[in-house]
């Protein structure tokens, strides 16, 4: 397609010529892309937590309040070790538990030391075969002095539904933001088209094909999308790292490192930006392509 | 070249713009379309350019039935035409050169060909020295000449001018029609829509009158033009340098015109 270079140049120039509108479009598009990115990252993190919990073959066995340390170690411990599929059984005293809480959360638990400690003694039990998970948990629950088995399958199932929920919400966010972005880009390009309606009418009168009329506007949309994609890729790194540190301070969990998703994320932003830009511009120009002569000029 | 066969056009709002029109314009003709405002002149042009579709009848351009032409082929039909508008429709932010070049660029012409052809056409309309000016810096007549240059630059076989003299003074109007006559002499078919009867009477060209959507008069094809404005006038000869004037002193004006047109045609051929 000869002459395409000229049209591409015109499209790029147009971004600068309508810089205020371009800036507004890029701003909105960046917001949309960043929010989309955060929704995807949230979903990735929840998935990662769910997977790590699901793969963990350790359960915590809480003992009744009236069980003392000696009884726990001398009587209940050996009983638990005898249960089929139990490969390790490690005692975890209530003093250790409160100390650990204190280390994590500060002096809040200072007054709950010694006799005031409300926590029960516990055992950390590791299983040999995860496929026997449910029956092993059942046998442990039936053992003498056992108050509750905090197996993480509850958490896992909750996290799984949370994962599904975040994925669904994420998907809707992506769809809604994509529609908003399309609207914004198509409006921006429509303004450019309005200011260049003379050119469009001349292009059509001298026999420019629809494709040729479309090119500068689609290029303009793509350039806006590309710039927004690049800016979003930079912003999300800082935003994600800042947010993850804040969340980890409250709930420690194994986060998804941004470096592991940086490349696909950046590429996705750029590709998404360019696609949204092109479609948005295509929607606007479509209307003009159907018009003829004076109609284009609003006569 | 252009044939209307029993063409009628009624707009969706019920306005009957043309009614059973039969017109035949041959290749190389210069035709004035005259008529009062709202007579159907603009609809006539829109139908030729396929901006509108007739309600009845058939239209042929270069022996092609454009009534049945697919939308995607319309740009190629328009490449055979050059359009001149009453309001010039020049792009303010572009120079004269770029305004003319724009018409070539958007149909995919090579940059080298654009430069050569645009400068040649600007020379033809007498605006080579204004190539770097913006439209706002030119007079109405000059702006219309730029518009004419843009219409000519893609070497169309038909020039359609919609009230080309509507926004310029009478002297300039005469110049523009003169220029169109010169272009016509090279074989380009010219269709000029105007309501300026006085201007039309100054030239011996075919006149078709449209009123109330019907052809009310047609002077018929003009085979011999006795009052065609000349390419080089006596005034022009007066300013020619002496040595050249001596050389051509015994050459008649008609012979000179032929030489000029020959040079123009050859220049164009070289350009291609």
Contact present, A120 and A63 (Cβ < 8 Å): yes
Contact call for A3 and B75, based on CB within 8 A: no
Domain-terminating residue out of A105, A126, A151: A151
| Residue in B91, B109, B150 nearest the CB of A3 | B109
Q: A232-246: b or e for each residue (b if 16 or more CB lie within 10 Å)?
A: bbebbbebbeeebee
CA-CA-CA-CA torsion sign (B136, B140, B145, B147)? positive
Contact present, B32 and B43 (Cβ < 8 Å): no
Q: Give the residue from A195, A197, A207 with the most B CB atoms within 10 Å of its CB, the best one to mutate.
A: A207
Bridge partners of residue A122, in order along the sequence: A62, A92
What distance lies between CA A139 and its chain's CA centroid? 39
Contact present, B103 and B79 (Cβ < 8 Å): no
Contact call for A204 and B72, based on CB within 8 A: no
| Residue in A198, A203, A293 nearest the CB of B106 | A203
Statement to judge: residues A17 and A79 lie in one domain:
no
Between CA A71 and CA A43 the distance in angstroms is 45
Residues of A in contact with B109 (CB under 8 A): 2-3
| Residue in A6, A209, A292 nearest the CB of B105 | A6
Contact call for B111 and A201, based on CB within 8 A: no
Between CA B152 and CA A236 the distance in angstroms is 54
Statement to judge: residues A131 and A201 lie in one domain:
no
Domain-terminating residue out of A101, A126, A151: A151
Would strands B189-194 and B30-34 be described as parallel, antiparallel, or unpaired?
A: parallel
Statement to judge: residues A41 and A74 lie in one domain:
no
Statement to judge: residues A47 and A104 lie in one domain:
no
Statement to judge: residues A193 and A177 lie in one domain:
yes
Q: Find the length of chain A.
A: 299
Between CA B263 and CA B268 the distance in angstroms is 8
Tens-place pLDDT, residues B200-255: 888 888 999 998 889 888 887 665 544 333 334 444 444 444 444 444 444 444 45
A-B contacts at Cβ under 8 angstroms: 66
Here the CATH number for the domain that contains residue A123 is 3.30.70.3040
Statement to judge: residues A218 and A140 lie in one domain:
no
Instruction: Quickly state the pLDDT bin for B59 (edges 50, 70, 90).
Output: very high
Q: Which domain holds residue A194?
A: 4-53+156-295
Neighbours of B36 (CB within 10 A): 12
Contact call for B83 and A210, based on CB within 8 A: no
- Is the pLDDT at B46 greater than 80? The verdict is yes
Contact call for B77 and A212, based on CB within 8 A: no
pLDDT, residue A226, reads: 92
Statement to judge: residues A228 and A256 lie in one domain:
yes
pLDDT, residue A127, reads: 80
pLDDT, residue A155, reads: 63
Backbone angles phi, psi at B192, to 5 degrees: -115, 120
Tens-place pLDDT, residues B142-198: 998 999 999 989 889 999 998 888 877 878 888 888 889 988 998 899 999 988 888
Contact call for A207 and B89, based on CB within 8 A: no
Contact call for A199 and B111, based on CB within 8 A: no
Contact present, B164 and B175 (Cβ < 8 Å): no
How many Å from the N-terminal Cα to the C-terminal Cα in chain B?
23
Contact call for B49 and A293, based on CB within 8 A: yes
For residue A124, give the nearest of A153, A155, A95, A81 by alpha carbon.
Answer: A81
Contact call for B103 and A293, based on CB within 8 A: no
Statement to judge: residues A237 and A268 lie in one domain:
yes
For residue A127, give the nearest of A58, A56, A54, A53 by alpha carbon.
Answer: A58
Statement to judge: residues A279 and A161 lie in one domain:
yes
Instruction: Kindly provide the ipTM of the predicted complex, given to two decimals.
Output: 0.71
A263 shares contact with chain B (CB less than 8 Å): no
Statement to judge: residues A208 and A250 lie in one domain:
yes
Domain-terminating residue out of A151, A171, A203: A151
The per-residue pLDDT string of chain A (299 residues; one tens digit each, 9 = 90 and over) reads: 556 777 788 888 888 887 887 888 888 889 888 988 888 888 888 877 776 665 666 788 999 888 888 888 888 899 999 998 888 889 998 888 888 877 777 776 777 777 778 888 899 888 877 667 778 888 888 888 898 887 666 665 676 677 788 778 888 888 888 888 888 778 877 777 787 788 888 888 888 888 888 888 888 889 988 999 999 999 999 999 888 888 888 877 778 888 888 899 999 989 988 998 888 888 888 877 887 766 766 66
Per-domain boundaries in chain B: 230-272
**Residue holding tokens 């980890």?**
A248
Nearest CA in chain A to B159: A206
Nearest CA in chain A to B160: A205
């Amino acid at each position: 397609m000869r002459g395409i270079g000229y049209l591409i140049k015109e499209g790029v120039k147009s971004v600068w010529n309508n810089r205020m509108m371009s800036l507004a479009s890029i701003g909105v598009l960046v917001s949309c892309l960043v929010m989309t990115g955060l929704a995807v990252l949230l979903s990735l993190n929840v998935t990662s937590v769910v997977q790590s919990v699901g793969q963990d073959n350790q359960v915590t066995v809480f003992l009744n309040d009236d069980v003392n340390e000696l009884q726990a170690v001398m009587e209940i411990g050996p009983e638990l070790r005898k249960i089929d599929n139990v490969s390790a059984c490690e005692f975890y005293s209530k003093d250790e538990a409160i100390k650990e809480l204190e280390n994590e959360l500060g002096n809040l638990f200072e007054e709950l030391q010694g006799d005031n400690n409300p926590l029960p003694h516990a055992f950390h039990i590791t299983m040999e075969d995860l496929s026997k998970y449910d029956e092993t948990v059942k046998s442990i629950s039936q053992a003498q002095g056992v108050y509750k088995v905090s197996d993480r399958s509850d958490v896992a199932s909750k996290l799984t539904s949370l994962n599904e929920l975040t994925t669904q919400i994420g998907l809707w966010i992506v769809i809604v933001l994509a529609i908003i972005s399309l609207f914004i880009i198509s409006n921006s390009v429509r303004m450019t088209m309005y200011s260049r309606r003379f050119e469009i009418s001349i292009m059509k009168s001298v026999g420019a094909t629809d494709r040729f009329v479309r090119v500068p506007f689609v290029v303009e949309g793509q350039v806006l999308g590309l710039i927004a994609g690049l800016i979003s890729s930079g912003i999300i790194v800082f935003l994600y790292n800042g947010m993850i540190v804040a969340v980890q301070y409250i709930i420690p969990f194994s986060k998804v490192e941004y470096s592991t998703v940086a490349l696909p994320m950046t590429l996705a932003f750029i590709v998404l930006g360019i696609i949204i830009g092109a479609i948005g511009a295509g929607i606007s120009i479509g209307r003009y392509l159907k018009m003829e002569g004076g109609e284009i000029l609003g006569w | 070249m252009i044939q209307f066969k029993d063409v009628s056009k009624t707009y969706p709002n019920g306005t009957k713009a043309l009614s059973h029109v039969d017109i035949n314009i041959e290749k190389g003709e210069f035709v004035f379309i005259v008529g009062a405002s709202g007579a159907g002149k603009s609809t006539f042009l829109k139908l030729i350019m396929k901006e509108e579709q007739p309600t009845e009848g058939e239209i042929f351009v270069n022996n092609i039935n454009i009534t049945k032409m697919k939308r995607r082929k319309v740009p190629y039909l328009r490449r055979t035409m050059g359009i001149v508008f009453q309001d010039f429709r020049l792009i303010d932010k572009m120079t004269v050169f770029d305004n003319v070049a724009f018409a070539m660029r958007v149909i995919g012409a090579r940059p080298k060909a654009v430069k050569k052809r645009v400068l040649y056409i600007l020379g033809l309309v007498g605006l080579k020295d204004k190539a770097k000016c913006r439209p706002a810096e030119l007079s109405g007549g000059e702006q219309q000449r730029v518009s004419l240059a843009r219409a000519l630059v893609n070497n169309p076989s038909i020039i359609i001018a919609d009230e080309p003299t509507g926004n310029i003074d009478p002297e300039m109007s005469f110049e523009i029609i003169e220029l169109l006559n010169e272009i016509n002499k090279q074989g380009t078919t010219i269709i000029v829509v105007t309501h300026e009867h006085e201007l039309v009477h100054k030239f011996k060209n075919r006149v078709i009158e449209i009123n109330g959507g019907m052809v009310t008069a047609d002077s018929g094809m003009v085979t011999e033009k006795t009052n065609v404005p000349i390419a080089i006038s006596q005034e022009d000869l007066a300013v020619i340098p002496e040595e050249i004037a001596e050389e051509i002193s015994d050459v008649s004006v008609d012979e000179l015109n032929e030489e000029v047109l020959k040079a123009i045609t050859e220049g164009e051929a070289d350009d291609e």
